[in-house]
Amino acid sequence: GQSLEQPSEVTAVEGAIVQINCTYQTSGFYGLSWYQQHDGGAPTFLSYNALDGLEETGRFSSFLSRSDSYGYLLLQELQMKDSASYFCAPDSWGKLQFGAGTQVVVTP
Partner 1 sequence: DAGVTQSPTHLIKTRGQQVTLRCSPISGHKSVSWYQQVLGQGPQFIFQYYEKEERGRGNFPDRFSARQFPNYSSELNVNALLLGDSALYLCASSLALSTDTQYFGPGTRLTVL
Going from the C-alpha of 40 to that of each of 20, 29, 37, the distances in angstroms are 22, 30, 8
50 counts as binding partner 1 under rule CB under 8 A: yes
71 counts as binding partner 1 under rule CB under 8 A: no
Name which position in 7, 31, 55, 74 contacts partner 1 (CB under 8 A).
31
5, 8, 35, 36: which is closest to 103 by C-alpha?
8
Name which position in 18, 33, 63, 84 contacts partner 1 (CB under 8 A).
33
Distance CA(2)–CA(17), nearest Å, equals 30
70 counts as binding partner 1 under rule CB under 8 A: no
Are 89 and 44 in contact by the 8 Å Cβ rule? The answer is no
Compare residues 15 and 28 and give the one whose CB is closer to partner 1.
28
Return residues touching partner 1 (CB under 8 A): 30-31, 33, 35, 41-45, 48, 50, 87, 89, 91, 93-101
